[in-house]
Amino acid sequence: MSNAKRLVGTLVLLALFGGALFFALRSNEATRQIAQEQVAIASAEPLKGLIAVDVEAFFKDDRVTQVLVQSKLPVHVARVGSRDMAARIGTADQPDFFIASGVVAANMIADAARKAGKAATQTSPFHTPLVVASWEPIAKMLAANGMAKPMAPKVYGLDMEKLTQAMLAKQRWRDLKASGDYAVSRSVLVSTTDIRRSNSAAMYLALTSAAVNGDVVADRATAQKLAGQLAELFKRQGFQENYVNGAFDDYLAIGMGKTPLTFIYEAQMVAQALKGGVRPEMVLMYPQPTIVNKWVLVALNERGKRLAELLAANKTLQAVALEQGFRTGDTDAFAASAQKAGLAVDVNLQQVIDPPGFDLMFEMIDIVSREMNQ
């Protein structure tokens, strides 16, 4: 073999060896990076969070857990009443974040953080309107009495002013026109949760007070007067569940006889429909106006803020939220989710108000609570 051929052969071998070495080194580097990433994921310290009961199922979903772990934001969450959260600011077990049900409770947390000299940011990844779950015969009866009107098949608008006046006047179902399907002696009332414990009941107080006042309550004297007047709408209900899940369970399990009108989050009905559990005679009634309840993440550090950003942007997390009935920033996606569930909803809410400021709101809650305790 000539020297030239031997040189060529040597160069080829060197090239092959070099290429193999290059790919081996690159493979080793990629393997090392993957290993380092897995170590970083495994060693990420969990974020401590206090959350409202309404988002507990979301954080228990395996897909949510996986996304948070892969994003180095694993969480350990505990369920706490939204109005009890602010008291945990500045304590030894202060969490990294809260997810409160409603802006009133979230503002209370942020105010407590400000007074304690701590920075807090608020983000709302999910929301849902407050609605009344009812039944076709009840909705038609209310419509015949001018307290409701059909908006679409199985969707009604509920005139809160007329309904509230009928309840305060202690009207009974048998006294209404067209009461043939529900000519019972019980009072016309909306079933709510216990206002001493539950955000949804507080929002019902906000709506009924606005209905009587003609606008959102904005001064202390009016707040005190109306809270005293509206307390009977809670007292006359009898036993009330602490959480809105319990009230909705009664609606599903017992039916029209016990719960002709039940104040819930729209998300509950959507989630139930997606699971195939809505009966044909069930309808949604949208208070006119209603309140949109926001689940507000109050972050007390940078990792908490990163969690808020992830909840608002990650497609998997948003998809899980939609499956659980929540509205996100994507109205079209929510409409598609409701359509998939076969549930008629009011996609584009036109009549929405805010609750009173949290100082007035909590004074009203306190007045009603004292009345309930007598």
End-to-end CA distance of the chain: 111
Cα–Cα–Cα angle for 161, 138, 170, rounded to 5 degrees = 50
Answer whether 230's CB lies under 8 Å from 205's CB. yes
pLDDT tens profile 277-306: 789 999 999 999 999 999 999 999 999 999
Which tokens belong to 81?
A: 């009443």
Which tokens belong to 194?
A: 């216990």
pLDDT of residue 83: 87
- What span, in angstroms and rounded, lies between the C-alpha atoms of 70 and 125? 20
The pTM of this model reads 0.86
- What span, in angstroms and rounded, lies between the C-alpha atoms of 92 and 236? 41
pLDDT of residue 34: 44
Q: Tell me the residue type at 251.
A: Y
Lowest mean pLDDT among 3-12, 114-123, 263-272, 338-347: 3-12
Q: Provide the H-helix boundaries in 79-198.
A: 103-115, 136-144, 160-168
Q: 223 or 104, which is more confident?
A: 223
Contacts of 288 (CB under 8 A, 6+ apart): 157, 158, 159, 160, 351
pLDDT of residue 128: 96
- What span, in angstroms and rounded, lies between the C-alpha atoms of 22 and 12? 15
- What span, in angstroms and rounded, lies between the C-alpha atoms of 182 and 65? 46
What average pLDDT does the segment 172-197 reach? Answer: 93
**CA-wise closest residue to 130 among 285, 343, 339:** 285
What average pLDDT does the segment 241-264 reach? Answer: 89
Q: What is the mean pLDDT of the chain?
A: 90
pLDDT tens profile 99-126: 999 998 999 999 999 999 999 999 999 9
Band (7; pLDDT cuts 50, 70, 90): low
- What span, in angstroms and rounded, lies between the C-alpha atoms of 332 and 350? 16
pLDDT at 33 over 70: no
**CA-wise closest residue to 77 among 111, 101, 53:** 53
Which tokens belong to 246?
A: 């319990």
- What span, in angstroms and rounded, lies between the C-alpha atoms of 349 and 67? 31
- What span, in angstroms and rounded, lies between the C-alpha atoms of 167 and 3? 107
pLDDT at 358 over 90: no
Q: Tell me the residue type at 171.
A: Q
pLDDT of residue 241: 84
* Count of Cβ atoms closer than 10 Å to residue 202 Cβ: 27
- Choose from 40-49, 74-83, 158-167 the range with maximum mean pLDDT: 158-167
Answer whether 33's CB lies under 8 Å from 270's CB. no
What average pLDDT does the segment 329-345 reach? Answer: 91
Distance (Å) of CA 268 to CA 14, 20, 122, 246, 321? 68, 59, 24, 11, 12
Contacts of 311 (CB under 8 A, 6+ apart): 123, 125, 126, 297, 317, 321
State how beta strands 282-288 and 155-159 pair.
Answer: parallel
| Residue 287 preceded by cis peptide, ω within 30 | no
Q: 243 or 76, which is more confident?
A: 76
Band (255; pLDDT cuts 50, 70, 90): confident
Band (4; pLDDT cuts 50, 70, 90): low
